[in-house]
Chain A
Amino acid sequence: MLQQIMHEMFPTPNHDEEARQEFVNDFRMHLATKVCPGSVPAYFKRVMPAFVKEHGREPKDRHEIRRAMTRDPFYQMWSAMQRSSQEMVWDSVIDSVERQLPDLIAKAAVLNGKGSLTLDPELEIPKYHTAFDIHLQPGAYHTDVVQNDLAAGAVYDRGSFIYAMGGLGEHNDGMGRITRNFFRTRFPGRKLERVLDLGCTIGGSVCFWSQQEPETEFHAIDVGAPCLRYGHARARAIGAGIHFSQQNAEALNFPDASFDLVMSHIVLHETSRTALQNIFNECYRVLKPGGVMLHLDLQQRWGQSPLDAFLGEWEIYNNNEHFYGQLKEIDCGEVAVNAGFDKAKFGIHHVSTTWQDDQTPYGESSFQLPIYLAEK
């Protein structure tokens, strides 16, 4: 596995913890490259012919394919192993974080540097975070176990790196590199006084931005206090100056017209239909006239065929990404117009996920991700 850059807040694994994390990474790489592709021949050689024999026609949509494929022994085995491997990612990281948590909390308390942290203990955590733990991280982004807890952030830092099989890069900031490259290609000379990152978790993406745009004031919000505590300490450890605050992107505390750019990285699909509209509304409200809204998210299309659609839905049903399925069918242009944006100034742009050399998220060959872009 690619080595992740160490910093003072990093939950450094000991010998066996690292061996366990390396195993999970290698196992998942094997599943992705050697086992997962077998779903296609299993479908064409076994599942589809049996379906045709029974119904006199091919499956008409992903739902029919799912009902048939989840009874196929090969698909069952891959899917069960993929699910277990996802649970093992988190478990392999929690060991190191649990062992070092008091030390990490003590380090965070004395780290000096730029930026700030503002928490709101009264903030209500939205149901789309409390109903189930998104992508199976136990306790998700918001659960505090001890005082001044930052475990969820430390687990996310290492766990998301392993989840992506190193594809987010040694600084875990690949998504931020993608959005900044896109933004600066499209708006090369645009002056940015204040920028807001929504749903920042540990601030991996926004830290990259702040290092590239040292004159800009960066704010980053999330609902999860332990992620923000860790993100704040991590940003200081790597010398980035970010103003972190605990807020819900659906109801921001910032005044109207206060940002030149409001962005998010792989956040929208972890919300809800109502939240999506609220978030776009708030983006419009806090943007200055001419300001830019930019959301990078997962592929929205279902694919060319019912089989493609089925193959793209695994995370929805097996990795607690429940809203992702609905998001695929929502017209985000309409959501933007409802929020107040001019339809002519909204667009969906597809960006390559290769952010550097052959580095791509999720350890796969390069693919396209949508950016929802609007100017106020």
Chain B
Amino acid sequence: MATDAKKPIKLPRTAKGKKPVYFDPVTDKLLSMIMTLMGELSVVRDRLDTVERLAEKAKVFKIDDIENYEIPDEVNAVRMERRAAYIARVLKTVQDELDSLQQDDGADGAAKK
């Protein structure tokens, strides 16, 4: 049993017992990941909502100011660049396959499957 007060406590995170297979092990994991991401997006949205309400309460800005915000061109350019990088990052696994398909020698193992 852990007695070192400085060592971070790690409680068990996985339930003991056989886990059923619903679709197949890979799809089951993907679904579980999507649900976790749904949860985390909801957490971030709630946190942002708290920030907006606190800002309005502290008279930093009004929540309506967000709706009425006109995006300057330079801000739009920064956002477009960030969105493009974000999309590319998420779709990297697709891009990787495309890249290997486009290689002349076709030596990539994944492409030969």
Residues of A that sit less than 8 Å from B by CB: 15-16, 19-20, 22-24, 27, 70, 76-77, 79-81, 83-85, 87-88, 90-92, 94, 97-98, 101-102, 131-133, 136-140, 143-147, 149, 151, 155, 317-318, 320
Q: A80-B28, A102-B9 are in contact. Are A145 and B1 (CB under 8 A)?
A: yes
Q: Is residue B72 contacting chain A, with contact meaning CB distance below 8 A?
A: no
Tell which of B11, B17, B20, B36 has the most Cβ of chain A within 10 Å.
B11
For residue B31, which residues in chain A have a CB less than 8 angstroms away from its CB? 77, 80-81, 84
User: How many Å lie between the Cα of A85 and that of B35 in the bound state?
Assistant: 8
Q: Is residue B15 contacting chain A, with contact meaning CB distance below 8 A?
A: yes
Cβ-defined contact, B50 with A91, below 8 A? no
Cβ-defined contact, B22 with A136, below 8 A? no
Q: A27-B38, A80-B23 are in contact. Are A91 and B13 (CB under 8 A)?
A: yes
Q: How far is the CB of A124 from chain B (nearest CB, A)?
A: 17
Q: Is residue B43 contacting chain A, with contact meaning CB distance below 8 A?
A: yes
Cβ-defined contact, B2 with A138, below 8 A? no
For residue B20, which residues in chain A have a CB less than 8 angstroms away from its CB? 79, 83, 317-318
Q: How far is the CB of B71 from chain A (nearest CB, A)?
A: 28
Q: List 17 A-B contacts (CB under 8 A).
A: A19-B42, A20-B39, A23-B42, A24-B39, A77-B22, A80-B31, A81-B35, A87-B32, A88-B36, A90-B15, A101-B9, A131-B17, A138-B16, A145-B2, A146-B3, A147-B3, A151-B11
User: How many Å lie between the Cα of A320 and that of B108 in the bound state?
Assistant: 43
For residue A79, which residues in chain B have a CB less than 8 angstroms away from its CB? 20, 22
Closest to A24 in B: B39
Q: A146-B2, A146-B3, A318-B20 are in contact. Are A27 and B39 (CB under 8 A)?
A: yes
- Near A by CB (< 8 A), chain B positions 2-27 give 2-3, 5, 9-20, 22-23
- 18 further interface pairs, Cβ-Cβ under 8 Å (given A19-B46, A27-B38, A81-B35): A19-B43, A22-B42, A22-B46, A27-B35, A27-B39, A80-B31, A83-B19, A92-B39, A98-B9, A98-B11, A101-B11, A131-B16, A132-B15, A133-B16, A137-B15, A147-B1, A155-B11, A320-B15
